[in-house]
Structure 1
Amino acid sequence: MTESISILCDNVCLSGVLHLPEGIQDKKVPLIVLLHGFVGSKVGEHRLFVKAARKFTDKGYAVFRFDFSGCGESDGDYADVTVSKQLSEVQAVLDYVSTLKEVDTKNIILIGHSLGGAVASLTASVDKRIRQLILWSPVAKPYEDITAILGDTALQTAKALGVFDYNGFYVSQQFLEDLKNHYPLEAIHSYEGQLLVIHAAEDKDVSKENAVYYSESLKCGNTGNIRYIKDANHTFASYSFEEQLFEETLVWLEKSEVKANKIAL
């Protein structure tokens, strides 16, 4: 079951889709919120987030995927995007999904891909509603990781003109300067929930070393919460990579749920 949702945040309408598992009736279920990355959308490359949402709802999870402002079907223009604004938008989304009668508000899970991984980590470090955090090929050092993707010419152009045209998206100097204000590896020290990092082993866009950085940044750093998808690229662009990504995610979620229940007892 899917429903298109529009959420108002700072006079901008964010376009989202809510997926609910069948047959839940009055039962409350765990909710996964999917955060896309740099110049991405709630559909995802090769429909990654659509496929993920369907896979997870088949396993009994509710899923909410949405476009940040300036992306996909949401209002706004990418020239006005900053990570600071995206953090506010995630809060608006979490406030909305927390009101849904079908959602177990004590079991909200954030999954962030690429830059969405950094945004998810920054959010989880301050929002106690996040019980579990899953990062797919995450950005760890926003300014360094994103500027490495853009290259020097883009940085020089943005500094001179205020924006750079990156594949049809205006990336602004304001966006680049704002990246310098965010340190997810430091922020995650404050996160008290459970973390899984899954990185593409052949990622040419975002270093797979980021998985280790995140794991070691936790209070109880433990590299046992890292998985690598062999031969995969940054967006896990094959059915084989996708299936491994989803399966690793679901197996970990199931084990985490069992562990949490034992602790509660």
Structure 2
Amino acid sequence: MMIKEIRRELNRQLQEMMQFKFNLFFANFGILIMVSAYLQYFQNVQSKYLLLCLLFTWYFTSHAITHPTFFIEDDLYDRTLISVIQSSKSIFHVLMFKITVQILVDFVKAIPIFIVLSMINQINFPDDVLKLVGSLTACMLTIISMYGFGFCLSSLCFIFNRTSSITSLISYFMLYFTGILAPLSGLLRIIGNLFPYYTLRKVIISPSYQSVFLIIIYCVIYWLVGALLFNTLLKIAKKRGSLFHV
């Protein structure tokens, strides 16, 4: 049943994308220009392959930060959240369903972009297939972990107004100040270590079980804290009767 729902929603979103293909083209073209510029500007700091992997991960994790909050805010604004609460499905279940579809849609949009980026920027991929698979696996683990962090932020919607403005800021903070474009030092390095990107960088440069395990630890912590905060603040909002403050 879940697979049928995902397939139906995925088809719906893809059809909707085709209706706005003109806007979608220019949005993706903007990403193409931005990433190409970063690949050229920072090529003396790190390999293009490393930076492409990090930017590919950031593309997904920026949505991991923002979209759970957007989903909750939309349900609050449309007054559909009360229907979900009264139904047999939990809000967590509905949100996970939307996230799964969002990841699939992101893959449909991102893969052609990054294939073109690889071609026009002459990316040298590793000859070792295991190293390539290890890098992609670490990227996916990072994306999954950041969706847990996105749950932490989305739970704030139950208490505060328009949390999405904060999540958009955090997604760009991650791009510039967590070691994606270039390694940092000092206070910014300490703050950057709160996110898994430095560990991901290590995995891509020199894969190791210890680094992969550390990303898994990030993932577990984010999801545990996210689930706890989500359920706790939802209960508080129910007691206060403040679910429709948007």
TM-score by length of 1: 0.29
Q: Comparing both chains, which one has the higher relative contact order based on Cα–Cα distances under 8 Å and sequence gaps of 6 or more? A: 2
Task: Give TM-score scaled by structure 2 length.
Answer: 0.30
Larger radius of gyration: 2
Name the structure with the higher helix share. 2
